[in-house]
Amino acid sequence: MTDWRRDRVGAALRGENPTVLRRLEAGFAVMGDVQFLPGYCVLVTDTPGVDRLTDLPRPRRIEFLADMELLGEAVQRVCARRDPGFRRINLEIQGNHDAFLHAHVWPRYEWEGPEHTWRPVALHPIERWRAPEPDTVLGPQHDDLRRELVAELDRLVQGLGPRLS
């Protein structure tokens, strides 16, 4: 079996990506591999071979952006309940590293400190991604957070009616 990380879109479509929280209209809500900012999630396209938002037909782009907003709201609600230091959500579509359409949903916290709270997450020390602390690598210690995110996504999706079911 190949490593699901080599084909995150295909692995999600096949049900082999363990980071998937829920299927949405135009993609998959997944938890980030590293949780140094607890609640970090990513919206991954469900269309293989799509690298940019503009690779999608306009109606599908709008669905992807709506899913990004929905995931952002779920992360915001969960992180605000869990941590009094929660500040806001940053939404980013960059595409600088992974060659598939995806959107980052970053919760931001007061406890990041003044050297980070006003800067993009990408300016956090690179070691947080490449050599993360063991408790920040996505694993069983994040199961409660995962359950809360799934439950919040389910609540939000149910409130949308027929768009997502």
Position 148 scores a pLDDT of 98
- Poorest-confidence range of 15-19, 39-43, 127-131? 127-131
What pLDDT does residue 138 have? 93
**What would the pLDDT profile of 101-133 be if each residue is shown by its tens digit?**
999 999 999 999 988 888 888 888 888 878 788
Residue 87 confidence (pLDDT): 96
- 31 near 17, Cβ under 8 Å? no
Q: How confident is the model at residue 165 (pLDDT cuts 50, 70, 90)?
A: very low
Spatial separation of the C-alpha atoms in residues 158 and 11, rounded to whole Å? 26
And the tokens for 56? Answer: 């999608």
Chain centroid offset of residue 52 CA: 17
Domains and their CATH numbers in the chain: 4-113+130-159 (3.30.428.10)
Give per-residue pLDDT as tens, 63-109: 999 999 999 999 999 999 999 999 999 999 987 777 789 999 999 99
